[in-house]
Structure 1
Amino acid sequence: MDVLSLIDTWAWIGWLVLILVFLVVEMLTGELTFLMLAGGSAVGLGAGVLGAPLWLQVVSAALAAVALLVFLRPPLLRRLHRGADARPSNVEALLGLEGLVLSRVSPAVTGQVKLANGDVWTARSDGDTRLDPATRIEVVRIDGATAVVRSKPGGTPMRIGPS
């Protein structure tokens, strides 16, 4: 018995192992990619059970996996994430947030600002302006642990967090 016929005879075990490995990895990732690959492997297993040669099993598994990834995964992901919270979080939630200068802020010297969410941040100004205490500001970007802010003109006085 030569090696190729031996592999062809026992290929179904390889397909089962691939399916199990892909399913375990899918449980860890949850992005449906490995689920689609497991589906392709199931098609390869089915082709082998029906008596297809090994090369046809591999081709059918690859074509099925690609088809599942292209046509089935995107609508499943949209359905899975349709109720997701679209509000920004982490650093993105700070961008555009208003606040007040607590200690002088300039491009060269970092000061402190208190943001509308109650957080106190180390800050520096955006541009060539110096911002004195009690100046209203807006967060432009976050550089590491420093908020880059600019003056926010006029408006009504704002209450920032619990004092």
Structure 2
Amino acid sequence: MDTWHIWVILALILVIVEIFTSGFVIICFAVGAAAAAVASCLSSGIQGQILWFSVATFLAFIAVRPLLLRSFNKGKSGRKSGIEALEGREAIVTERISYMENSGRVAIDGDDWKAVADDKNEIIEKGQKVIVTGVDSVILKVRTK
């Protein structure tokens, strides 16, 4: 078996492993192995093949990986999940919201949340509709609708 066969097999194995991992790290090594296979076909010695492998892997980390990460994560940065997804939602006050009394709860979709008013001087009575304007840990910041 020629050396370039080994490099090609290594590159294919690394591509397959990359399919089951995330982060596009292993694919950079696969690019290096493919470059070493080309070097082997060009009758380069083992030192030259290792040099090609190293340089191509390094360049893949610098150039290819950021492009892959950017395209793979496109559109995900704007999505909110968990408690952050409640921002902008309407809620019903289930317990009077008062900063001075350190009290207040709201309900959203049947879930009960501790809440504080955006305006610390504002008192929001039970039954009023409010809008969630922010989240601080597990406490919702709200304002009257």
Question: How far apart in 2 are the matches of 1:83 and 1:151?
Answer: 29
Distance between the aligned counterparts of 2:110 and 2:53, measured in 1? 54
User: Which of residues 70, 78, 90 in structure 1 aligns to 2:82?
Assistant: 90
Equivalent residue pairs, number:
141
Supply the distance in 2 between the matched residues of 1:20 and 1:35 (Cα, whole angstroms). Answer: 10
Render the CA deviation track for 1:53-82: whole Å, top value 9, x for unaligned: 222212211222233343344445555565
State the shift of 1:10 in Å. 8.2
For normalisation by structure 2, the TM-score amounts to 0.66
Q: What RMSD over aligned residues (CA atoms) do the two structures have, in Å?
A: 3.6
Where do 4+ consecutive residues of structure 1 move more than 4 Å?
A: 9-14, 73-87, 106-111, 126-130
Letter of the structure 1 residue corresponding to residue 113 of structure 2? T
TM-score by length of 1: 0.61
Any stretches of 5+ residues in structure 1 without a counterpart? 1-8, 156-163
Alignment of 1:121-132 (within 5 A): 121-126=112-117, 128=120, 130-132=123-125
In structure 2, the residue matched to 1:39 is 31
Partner secondary structure for residue 23 of structure 1:
helix
Q: Any stretches of 5+ residues in structure 2 without a counterpart?
A: none
Partner of 1:141: 135
1:98-141 deviation per Cα after TM superposition (whole angstroms, max 9, x unaligned): 312112344575653123xx242321315645543123333310
